[in-house]
Amino acid sequence: MTEPSTDILQRLNVKIFADGADLDGIRTLAANPMIKGFTTNPTLMRQVGITDYKAFALDVLKIVPDQPVSFEVFADDFDEMEKQALEIASWGANVNVKIPVTNTKRESSVPLVERLSGQGVMVNVTAVFSLQQAQAITDVLSPDVPAIISIFAGRIADTGVDPVPHMAAAVDLMKAKPKAELIWASPRELLNVFHADSVGCHIITVTHDILNKLALVDKDLDDYSLETVEMFYRDASQAGYSIETSSN
C-alpha cells in the first residue's frame, strides 16, 4: 500500500479500521500509522481458508496487541452466542465482540447486547441497517463501557438509498452514549472515507482494495487522465490489435 500524503492523515478525524482475514495483510497494515484497528468476520475467514477460529484470533492478537480488534460470534442461539461472546472477550483487553443485530430467525439480539455490555464486554453490534435498530442498541448500552455499532452504509447504498444522511442521523442519536462509536461498514469506494468523516462517523472499515486507493487522494486530475490514456494505449499495443483503414 502506497502511503498517502501526511496532510491527509491530519485532515481526517474518522479512524480507519482494516477489514480482512489475511494474516500477512494484517501484519503489513499493523505497521501503518493510518490504520487504527482491525475487524474480521466468519465470511472473510472462510474465504481465506481459516479452519481454527481461536488459533487464528490469537495469531491476530499477537500481531495487534494494542489496537482494537473485532471477532464475531457465529452461534444462532442466544444462550450459545453469549457463551461464545464471553470466551472471545477473554482473548484480549483490546477485543470487541461482534454480535449480529438479530439471529437468522429475525429475533433481536438487543437483550443479549444489554447483558454483555452490562458485564463489561465491549460489543460491536454488526449487520445494523435501520435507525430503529441503532436506537434500540444505543438505549441498552452501558454508559461506562466502550461499544461499537456497525451500520452497513455500503449495502444501504446498494438499495438506492443515500447513506450519508442516514449515518449522520445515527451519529446524532448515539451521542446519548459517548463511549459508543459508529462504524461506516461495507464502504464501496474511497470517497466513502470522506463521507464518513464529514458526518462525524467515528470509524470506517476499509478493505485492502480501497486502502490501496489512498495514494490517489489529491492526485492531479490531468496527470491521472494522461495515465489512463497511456494505459489504454499500452494494453491495445500489447494485445496486438490492429484495424485496417482505407488509404482514401
Nearest to 70 by CA among 143, 123, 115, 142: 123
Give the rounded percent of residues in the chain with a pLDDT score beyond 90.
86
Listed by start position, the domains of the chain span 6-217
Please check the confidence at residue 59 and state whether its pLDDT lies above 80.
yes
Q: Which pLDDT belongs to residue 248?
A: 61
Q: How far is CA 195 from the centre of its chain?
A: 14
Q: Coil, helix or strand for 168?
A: helix
pLDDT computed for residue 88 by the predictor: 98
Residue 171's Cβ-side half-sphere holds a number of Cα atoms within 13 Å equal to 20
- Residues 26 and 208 sit within 8 Å (Cβ to Cβ): no
Contact 67, 33 (CB under 8 A): no
Q: Which residues have CB under 8 Å from 224's CB, separation 6+?
A: 216
- 40: exposed, middle or buried (Cβ count in 10 Å: 0-12, 13-18, 19+): buried
pLDDT digits (tens, 9 = 90+) for 3-48: 445 566 568 899 999 999 999 999 999 998 889 999 999 999 999 9
Average pLDDT (63-80) is 97
Grid cell at residue 72: 464475531
pLDDT at 149 over 70: yes
pLDDT given at position 40: 93
Architecture of domain 6-217: Alpha-Beta Barrel (3.20)
Tell me the per-residue pLDDT of 79-118, one tens digit each, with 9 for 90 and over. Answer: 999 999 999 999 999 999 999 999 999 999 999 999 999 9
Above 80 in pLDDT, residue 2? no
pLDDT score at 1: 43
Burial class of 230 by CB neighbour count within 10 A (0 to 12, 13 to 18, 19+): exposed
Per cent of the chain over pLDDT 70 is 95
Model pTM? 0.90
pLDDT at 8: 65
DSSP SS3 for 10: helix
CA distance linking residue 139 with residue 20, whole number of Å: 30
Known active-site residue 98: yes
| Single-letter amino acid, residue 76 | D
The catalytic residue among 98, 175, 177, 219 is 98
pLDDT of 9: 58
Average pLDDT, the chain: 94
**Segment 181-209, tens digit of pLDDT:** 999 999 999 999 999 999 999 999 998 88
User: Which DSSP letter does residue 65 get?
Assistant: S
